[in-house]
Amino acid sequence: MPHLPEHLLAGYRNFMSGRYPAESGRYRSLAREGQAPETMIVACCDSRSAPEAIFDAGPGELFVLRNVGNLVPPYEPDGEYHSTSAALEFAVQSLKVKNIVVMGHGRCGGIRAALDTNSAPLSPGDFIGKWMSLIAPAAETVSSSTFMTATERQTALERISIRYSIANLRTFPCVSIIEGKGRLTLHGAWFDISTGELWVMNKETGDFERPEL
């Protein structure tokens, strides 16, 4: 007897009676011709910041990679398991995406964990602690600022980590070479869950600004 939580089955019934019939032509052509998304999004796993919902994207439009804290690690061809780097390699080398957007969000639990180094790990493996240690130097600097409130520190590190991930993207030879040829553009964005506001990184200054809509 196949089994899924009832709310997932209910959602799937809605999909098959609504969205799938409306977009079946698109699904069939994507199945026939393969995917060719122009944009890769690196987003957080957080259930409140789904890129497909925020950008109102249909099937085949976005190549989405989600991990805790929307981090891109530096290029490390060391034979270890690098799921983020594998997705990046596929997006750039095979799909030849034209844009990569690193999208952070407000109230990020991963970022909060990076700032709160006193709390005990969730498991002996402390996978979150190890993963978020990628931004430990920035987290320590932000944590030590007594002029900022806890909320300001959180937002600051959320945005710093986006710039950090974009810098790490450029440590991948495949990214920096193709960007240098003008065939790939890197972007940063930050989504405020409570208001729905999207803030977009200014490429020159690194500041986050509201786009004209």
* 40 touches Zn ion (CB under 5 A): no
Rounded (10°) CA dihedral 47, 48, 49, 51: 70
Q: How far is the CB of 19 from Zn ion (least distance, A)?
A: 26
Nearer to Zn ion, 46 or 61 (CB): 46
Q: Which residue in 39, 40, 41, 46 binds Zn ion (CB under 5 A)?
A: 46
Q: Which residue in 41, 44, 139, 166 binds Zn ion (CB under 5 A)?
A: 44
Burial class (CB in 10 A: 0-12, 13-18, 19+), 41: buried
Tokens at 12, concatenated: 């799937």
Nearer to Zn ion, 44 or 87 (CB): 44
Q: How far is the CB of 162 from Zn ion (least distance, A)?
A: 11
Total binding residues for Zn ion by CB under 5 A? 4
Pick out residues in 105-134 that bind Zn ion (CB under 5 A): 108, 110
Site string for Zn ion, 139-178 (x = CB under 5 A): ----------------------------------------
Could you tell me which of 68, 70, 52 has the C-alpha nearest to residue 164? Answer: 70
Tokens at 55, concatenated: 């950008």
Helix intervals (H) in the chain: 6-14, 20-33, 51-54, 83-89, 109-115, 127-132, 136-143, 150-169, 173-180
Nearer to Zn ion, 46 or 178 (CB): 46
Nearer to Zn ion, 92 or 108 (CB): 108
Could you tell me which of 189, 213, 191, 192 has the C-alpha nearest to residue 203? Answer: 189
Q: Give the span between the Cα atoms of 26 and 76, in whole angstroms.
A: 37
Nearer to Zn ion, 44 or 166 (CB): 44
Q: How far is the CB of 107 from Zn ion (least distance, A)?
A: 8
Which parts of this chain interact with Zn ion (CB under 5 A)?
A: 44, 46, 108, 110
